[in-house]
Amino acid sequence: MTAASLSASALTSAAPSPEPLDPRDITEPEQIAAQLALLTRREADLTLALNALIADRTGVDGALSNLRDLTGEVDALSSEVDGYRVPSRYGTPTRKGRVSALSPPQLSNSPRVGSPRASPAPRLQLSSRGLGLQDADGDDGDGLVARVSRVWETSERVGGKVRKLDDEIGRVREAADVVTEVLELKSALAALEVAIDKADWEGAARACRRAMSVRDTITEGGFAGSVVPTPQNPLPPPQQLAELRDFLLHTFRQEFDSAAERRDEHEVSRYFRLWPGIGAEDQGLEAYGNFVVSLVKSRSSAAGKPSSPLYYLSQLTSLLESIAHIIDQHQPAVDKYYGTGRMRTVVGRLVGESDRVVRNLVEGWEEERRVGRLISDTKASRFAFLSNPAALPPLFSSLASGTAAAAAGQISLSSLANTTSNVANALQSYAPRVKTATATGPTPTPVPEEDPGPDPRDVDRVLGELVALSGRWALFRRFVHSRLSESDEDDTDLEVVEQSGSQRAIENMLRTYYEPLELWYLRSSVEKAHRLDLPDTSTKPHLSSILDDTFYLIKVVLNRVLSSGSLSALHALREHISTVLEKDYASILSKKMERVYAQPVTYDRAEKAIREKDQKETYIIFLNDLDVSADYAERLLLETRENVPAAWLPREHAAVLDELDVLSDLAAHFRSVARSGLEQFFGQVIRPRLRPLLDECYKDMTYALGEDAFADAEDQDLVRRRFVRGWENLMDGYRTSFTDHNYQIFYTMTVETLVRPWEKMVMGMAFTELGAIRYERDVRAVANYLSTQASYGGARDKFTRLQQIATVLNLDADEDPDEFYSNSGIPWRLSRNEYNTVVGLRQF
């Protein structure tokens, strides 16, 4: 049985079916069902026919065998269709270089096999008739093309019908989907009305969500408009849904507000969860925002009077803690029902309430604390002692006149009344020693009057309160940022806090009141530390009280500004701290050092000795203060970096550390000022005594030695002994008085200055052969001794030129000096002229 007969029998065996209808003519659900059944039946018939064709395995295998046998003829026919001729001989190429596709068995079917004159026409006719692809009367290849064309047209007709059938199926399915959605819309609206009548608000929300899930094109379409309306509710579906949803929104808001007024947490939570179900998240968050703001407003205010030091701080703390508690407690519910990140809407409402309260608190604080008057008083301060360091009392009474010393005692006693907080206790401990200081002298030093500025204790209290208020807001700001950042990494969404009125109010307070008051407090405290400065010679090294007092103040100010949590305040105070330490601290110490040796000279021998001793001690103390200040600055910076308060946002830590790192330049500045002071002190005290030291060492000394004189010089070793004695007298007390760093610089400076006149002195001497040996031993002995006087090296290096002079003086008599200078390999510190001069000093 052929495939065609199987297909025909399968199709004719099907039962009669209704006629296909145009989908546009379908108006009843029954017609849709009938058309679907028709299509299903046709699909089943086609499936049966195909299965029957595949089941006839014998017929298929026979057809395949016939096709294989006809392969040669098909190839020959293909070559004819392509325009090639069959070769006249097996295996010979065609006129286009192709080899004939006919196999030998196929060629044998020709009556004239192998004849060069054989025509391929009979073979083509045979193969064509065998395939059934040509007419029976033996037409040429044109009949094959016509036959193929007819087959193609037939396949196109069949394929077109199949595509049309697919289109009809798609339209039927689309129509079925529309009917299904319309029925769903009608059912949801009916359920919504029933739920509203029963006050089943959860069910109503679910039904409303079902109705809203239907596509707008379906809801607004004509089919839904003709099917959904009922006599009881004839409105179009979109209008029905909108009215019912508006009724739900009104009811939810009314019931929510009523529950919120009763503080019924269960009902509040119930209606709060219903809004997202009907796509009304914004309305729900608005109602919820009003609710939480009412909770903040109804909080119990902190007890106390506005005059209390902690009143405003307690009020702000209570406000921010209540807001933070609400955010912490309610954020999980908002994120769960409204989506991650929606809490920032509620936070915005809460921060808006804080803006109102903070504004009132700031206004009340400004009026109650009278900070405007404090600012005016600080602006009137002259800082007379900082502008005129000459009026400051000296460290020792021998350096001041009697009137100045008495005035210093009075200044200290009057200052004790204004000393603030912990700094007061530190500074008061020095008052008795200042009071007992006495001095004699004919020239009184004018003492400026006390500044008419504000009481430092009042300023300190206001500063502490300001920083506490700012710190509370900074902690709240960090808390809000951490909560909002958990759900949204976009910093623009965090502007709900950064651009709030509370943030602007706090920043304005810091800029208007904190920064100028803190600067005044720092300058006045440093000035007070200068006035109350006392030496402490019992310590090693010798220091004064201003060092600890000043850096205690700097630590207090740094910790205070870091606790504020404001980058702008930190930047401003960092600049103020640098300026005060450079100009009001280091510069004043430098000017005080300059005045140490600028006092009039007394002619009383006993008084002069005491005065010179105190002058030296004062200068050393100031130098040590500067050197230790550099160490303190580095240590304070390191400690501060490691203990940054928690008020800062994580993203601000880098900026905070950058501001602190700028303060590291202060250590270099202190050491620079100390180095400059050391050079002045050295030039004033040590330099004038170095040449006399060398003169004493070489008194009655010569290096033009004979054998007897050389033996005596070896026994006496006068240069080394005299140098040791003179050096100890010169450097007596400096090693224990100076800091290690200052003494190292001072020691190096002394050795460097010592060898220069020694070199000049040597250049003017004459040397015998034994004298050159003696000179070399003297230089080595002095260098060895100096290297034992310091724990750090460098002394021997300073003697390199003197030792090279000794090397030249001790050259053998038969050695060529010029050749030795050029070829010895010694890195000469002596120039060629100096070398020649030394060679000329030899008398042998």
| Bridge partners of residue 842, in order along the sequence | 767
Specify the DSSP class assigned to residue 686: I
Terminal alpha carbon distance of the chain: 143
Backbone phi and psi for residue 842, each to the nearest 5 degrees, phi listed first: -75, 135
From CA 150, how far away is CA 130, in angstroms rounded?
19
Q: What pLDDT is stored for residue 435 in this prediction? A: 32
Q: What pLDDT is stored for residue 306 in this prediction? A: 81
Nearest-CA neighbor of 621 among 765, 737, 746?
737
From CA 596, how far away is CA 685, in angstroms rounded?
12
Question: What is the band of 44 on the pLDDT scale with cuts at 50, 70, 90?
Answer: confident
From CA 225, how far away is CA 233, in angstroms rounded?
12
Q: What pLDDT is stored for residue 323 in this prediction? A: 92
Nearest-CA neighbor of 674 among 794, 790, 586, 577?
586
pLDDT at 88 over 80: no
| Bridge partners of residue 99, in order along the sequence | 93
Q: Which helix (H) or strand (E) holds 676?
A: helix 665-681
Helix-then-strand count for the chain, H and E: 40, 2
Looking only at the bridges linking them, the beta strands covering 543-544 and 535-536 are antiparallel
Cα separations in angstroms, 271 against 263, 380, 436: 13, 62, 81
Under a CB-based contact definition with an 8 Å cutoff, are residues 273 and 326 in contact? no
From CA 821, how far away is CA 184, in angstroms rounded?
113
Q: What pLDDT is stored for residue 553 in this prediction? A: 95
Percent pLDDT > 70 in the chain is 80
pLDDT at 471 over 60: yes
CA-based R_g, the chain, Å:
55
Under a CB-based contact definition with an 8 Å cutoff, are residues 453 and 482 in contact? no
User: At 794, is the secondary structure helix, strand, or coil?
Assistant: coil
Average pLDDT over residues 607-613: 85
Q: Which residue has the tokens 């070399």?
A: 776
Give residue-wise pLDDT tens across range 641-667: 999 998 899 999 999 999 999 999 999
600 by Cβ neighbours in 10 Å (0-12 / 13-18 / 19+) ranks as: exposed
Under a CB-based contact definition with an 8 Å cutoff, are residues 577 and 659 in contact? no
373 by Cβ neighbours in 10 Å (0-12 / 13-18 / 19+) ranks as: exposed
**Residue 425 CB-half CA count within 13 A:** 3
| Pairwise pLDDT comparison (74 vs 485), residue with the higher score | 485
From CA 333, how far away is CA 275, in angstroms rounded?
13
Q: How large is the greatest C-alpha to C-alpha distance in the chain, in angstroms?
A: 159
Tokens of 24: 């546009």
Average pLDDT over residues 307-315: 88
pLDDT at 749 over 50: yes
Question: What is the band of 440 on the pLDDT scale with cuts at 50, 70, 90?
Answer: very low
Under a CB-based contact definition with an 8 Å cutoff, are residues 248 and 208 in contact? yes
Nearest-CA neighbor of 259 among 268, 246, 269?
268
Nearest-CA neighbor of 378 among 460, 467, 464, 452?
452
Average pLDDT over residues 472-500: 80
Q: What pLDDT is stored for residue 390 in this prediction? A: 87
Q: What pLDDT is stored for residue 671 in this prediction? A: 96
Under a CB-based contact definition with an 8 Å cutoff, are residues 338 and 284 in contact? yes
Nearest-CA neighbor of 485 among 337, 351, 331?
331
Cis preceding-peptide flag for 650 (omega within 30 of 0): no
Among 126-135, 473-482, 779-788, the minimum mean pLDDT is found in: 126-135
Tokens of 343: 């809490």
From CA 383, how far away is CA 452, in angstroms rounded?
10
From CA 574, how far away is CA 659, in angstroms rounded?
7
Give residue-wise pLDDT tens across range 217-258: 888 777 777 777 777 777 888 888 888 889 999 999 999 989
Q: Interior CA angle at 308 toward 302 and 314, to 5°? A: 30
Cα separations in angstroms, 703 against 711, 765, 834, 841: 12, 7, 19, 10
From CA 424, how far away is CA 436, in angstroms rounded?
20
What angle do helix axes 567-579 and 545-564 make, rounded to 10 degrees?
160
pLDDT at 805 over 60: yes
269 CB-near residues (< 8 Å, 6+ apart): 333
Nearest-CA neighbor of 277 among 195, 180, 179?
195
406 CB-near residues (< 8 Å, 6+ apart): none
50: how many CB neighbours lie within 10 A of its CB?
Answer: 14
Q: What is the mean pLDDT of the chain?
A: 80
Q: What pLDDT is stored for residue 401 in this prediction? A: 54
65 by Cβ neighbours in 10 Å (0-12 / 13-18 / 19+) ranks as: exposed
pLDDT at 404 over 50: no
CA 472 to chain centre: 23
Average pLDDT over residues 85-103: 41
User: At 536, is the secondary structure helix, strand, or coil?
Assistant: strand
| Bridge partners of residue 316, in order along the sequence | none
AA identity, residue 329:
Q
From CA 193, how far away is CA 214, in angstroms rounded?
17
pLDDT at 333 over 50: yes
| Pairwise pLDDT comparison (397 vs 429), residue with the higher score | 397
Question: What is the band of 301 on the pLDDT scale with cuts at 50, 70, 90?
Answer: low
Among 330-334, 413-417, 666-670, 776-780, the minimum mean pLDDT is found in: 413-417
Under a CB-based contact definition with an 8 Å cutoff, are residues 740 and 803 in contact? no
User: At 539, is the secondary structure helix, strand, or coil?
Assistant: coil
Q: What pLDDT is stored for residue 81 in this prediction? A: 57
pLDDT at 794 over 50: yes
- pTM score of the predicted model: 0.69
Percent pLDDT > 90 in the chain is 41
pLDDT at 484 over 70: yes
Q: In this structure, which long-range contacts are made by residues 177-181, counting pairs with CB atoms below 8 Å and at least 24 apart in sequence? A: 178/218, 178/221, 178/223, 179/29, 179/32, 179/223, 181/214, 181/215, 181/218
Buried (b) or exposed (e) across 4-24, using 16+ Cβ within 10 A?
A: eebbeebeeeeeeeeeeeebe
Nearest-CA neighbor of 533 among 569, 495, 585?
585
